[in-house]
Structure 1
Amino acid sequence: MADKPLISFDYAIKYILKNKGDYEIIERFISTLLQTQGYPPVTINALLDSESNKESFDLKRSIADLVVQDKDDNKYIVEIERSFTPNFLHKACFNSSRLIVDSISGNQDYTSIKKVFHISLLYFATQTMKSPLYHGQTIFHEIDTTHPVNVKIANQGLIMFETPNVFPEYFIISLPRFNDQVQHELDEWLYMMKHSEVLPSFQSPVMKKVAERLAVIHMSNEERNTYFAYLKEAVHSQDVLLAASEKGKKEGFEKGLEKGKIEVAKALLQSGQTIEFVAQMTGLDEKRLTVLKDTQKTP
């Protein structure tokens, strides 16, 4: 990663948010993502000074917590994080819940909750993930129907209260799953995030600025050293994830092998073979085979 022309986008987010003149880069990325779900473009209204933002090198926390605003003055909280753990959905749920609680001061009513958009940048892919982009949200349905409904509640005075769209929405971006085919603006962002590179053919109006502001060569020595320290920590986290994955594969193989031995032993015992013979063929303990044989007897 250190030899790529641009700094990695997850680090770049913190880097860019230090200068209000660069906000348009993050605004364009968030707006492009939200527009896939029909939301209008947004601008950054404020940065949340949460515990997440204070932990520069703790990759377990979020990269940025922002308050954004659309043209109709609707305000939302956007949380962006990078994840190295397969439990990223649990982490996303925890962090979005924490943000909701943290955004309410002690004297505020919980109805002041702002909607949260959670964006997870994954630099790994699971076997079940076939696409680079996933979206999730909470939707209420009438029982036994598949049609989403707006929940309306009436009090005893028949005053109607319609629940606003307050539930968090989640965007999961698995960069390794992107196929490098650029057809839309969002594809340009995915390509840039995956390869840390902006192609000359990109059409997004901010990509030229992205190429200029995120160029490693333009960083000061201090900024470059800080970035390389971040990359080192990122590589370490990836190694931990890979080790855990390999351990899981090994444990799964061993469990499968053990199950196969038991199935073979059952078949041999049912065919009338002696426990001693079955033990020789399968490597299973004779005491265990005795118990297995007893469980196969018809009462």
Structure 2
Amino acid sequence: MIDKPLISFDYAIKYLLKNKGDYDIIEGFISALLATEGYKPVKINALLESESNRESGDLKKSIADLVVQDEDENKYIVEIERSFTPNFMHKACFNTSRLVVDSIEGNQDYTTIKKVFHISLLYFSTQQMKKPIYHGQTIVHEIDTAHPVTLRIANQGLVLFKHQNIFPDYFFISIPRFNEVIHQEIDEWLYVMKRCEVRKDFKSPYMKKVMERLSVLKMTTEERTDYYHYLKEAVHSQDVLMAAEEKGKAEGKAEGIQEGEERGIVKGKAEIAKAMLAEGASLEFIQKVSGLTLQQIEELQKS
């Protein structure tokens, strides 16, 4: 059984987007996040096909790709993904680039590109990450100043072309780094992501509906089964191995780089073995895949 009153927020996004009546919850989260960088509230216009691209479904793994519109009728694309890998920036760069290309219809040219907001929900933290939210974007500067410049190109003084703000914005949210102190609306959303619950003192107008719609107990048997399957898939993700290796290396540096690498590899193998044990795989098969000894696997099984 799940010991949290609400389903995990990454799954909730997929779950809520099945019903237009629940779009306002996702809109509330996106708007609260964008507001931290001065952007206006948005509404969802359409859903783009997610978790699929021409190379392989495993390469993208987006939770949702959305077309949104703000109060000034500016349209943007919002991509939301979860990540368990320390290579999340490389993954974000690939996914956003692919999304930009795929969003252009066959009879359109690249001038139809819409600005993309990429949101990564990170279920880990690194030693370098001190805060829960990081934001980045590409800004064009004049070569001799530190101030952004709007480029204008004139064609023989007759036609004026203006380069719009089309470069992607990246938001990386390290959920474990949130200290659970509430200062603004986005903090309430971070609390829900980390604790899977809503506090009574929350002021966001969306939190009452979050508590009602994301309750595990209010899910149907079929919905709950799908949710449990989703959680198991997260455990089986290959990214878990990479994260375990990285953590092992970081912990081992205090005792020596070589020892750290070895501990990282062993931890990674153990994570894979645990996942396979949970699925009922034979000890011999687990030994072949993980490279662990039968004795090591039996000890994991006992624990």
Instruction: Tell me the TM-score normalised to structure 1 length.
Output: 0.80
2:244 maps to: 243
1:67-106 CA-partner distances (Å, limit 9, x unpaired): 0011221110000000011110111111111111011111
1:144 equivalent to 2:140? Answer no
Please give the secondary structure, in 2, of the residue aligned with 1:66.
strand
Question: How far 1:236 sits from its partner (Å)?
Answer: 3.3
Moved more, 66-75 or 11-20: 66-75
User: Does the 8 Å CA contact 1:83/1:122 hold for their aligned counterparts?
Assistant: yes
Moved more, 235-244 or 157-166: 235-244
**Highest Rg: 1 or 2?**
1
Structure 2 letter corresponding to 1:248: K
Structure 2 letter corresponding to 1:147: H
Taking the aligned partners of 1:18 and 1:93, their CA distance within structure 2 comes to 27
2:282 maps to: none
User: Does the 8 Å CA contact 1:52/1:64 hold for their aligned counterparts?
Assistant: no
Question: How far 1:159 sits from its partner (Å)?
Answer: 2.5
Instruction: Tell me the TM-score normalised to structure 2 length.
Output: 0.79
1:135 maps to: 135
2:208 maps to: 208
Question: How far 1:59 sits from its partner (Å)?
Answer: 9.1
Question: How far 1:242 sits from its partner (Å)?
Answer: 4.0
Structure 2 letter corresponding to 1:150: T
Question: How far 1:39 sits from its partner (Å)?
Answer: 1.2
Change in Cα spacing, 1:59 to 1:154, as seen in structure 2 (3 Å) is closer
1:239-281 CA-partner distances (Å, limit 9, x unpaired): 4244322453478555478xxxxxxxxxxxxxxxxxxxxxxxx
User: Does the 8 Å CA contact 2:119/2:172 hold for their aligned counterparts?
Assistant: yes
1:103-127 CA-partner distances (Å, limit 9, x unpaired): 1111102111111000000010011
1:173 maps to: 173
Number of equivalent positions: 255
Question: How far 1:148 sits from its partner (Å)?
Answer: 1.1
User: Does the 8 Å CA contact 2:86/2:243 hold for their aligned counterparts?
Assistant: no
Taking the aligned partners of 1:241 and 1:31, their CA distance within structure 2 comes to 32
Unmatched runs of 5 consecutive residues or more in structure 1: 258-299
Structure 2 letter corresponding to 1:134: Y
For residues 63-102 of structure 1, what are the structure 2 equivalents within 5 Å? 63-102=63-102
Structure 2 letter corresponding to 1:20: K
1:208-245 CA-partner distances (Å, limit 9, x unpaired): 00001000000111111111111122233374244322
2:25 maps to: 25
1:62 maps to: 62
Taking the aligned partners of 1:59 and 1:235, their CA distance within structure 2 comes to 17
Taking the aligned partners of 2:169 and 2:105, their CA distance within structure 1 comes to 22
Change in Cα spacing, 1:170 to 1:197, as seen in structure 2 (3 Å) is same
For residues 140-289 of structure 1, what are the structure 2 equivalents within 5 Å? 140-237=140-237, 239-249=240-250, 254-255=256-257
Taking the aligned partners of 1:93 and 1:214, their CA distance within structure 2 comes to 31
Question: How far 1:167 sits from its partner (Å)?
Answer: 0.6
User: Does the 8 Å CA contact 1:66/1:79 hold for their aligned counterparts?
Assistant: yes
Structure 2 letter corresponding to 1:146: A
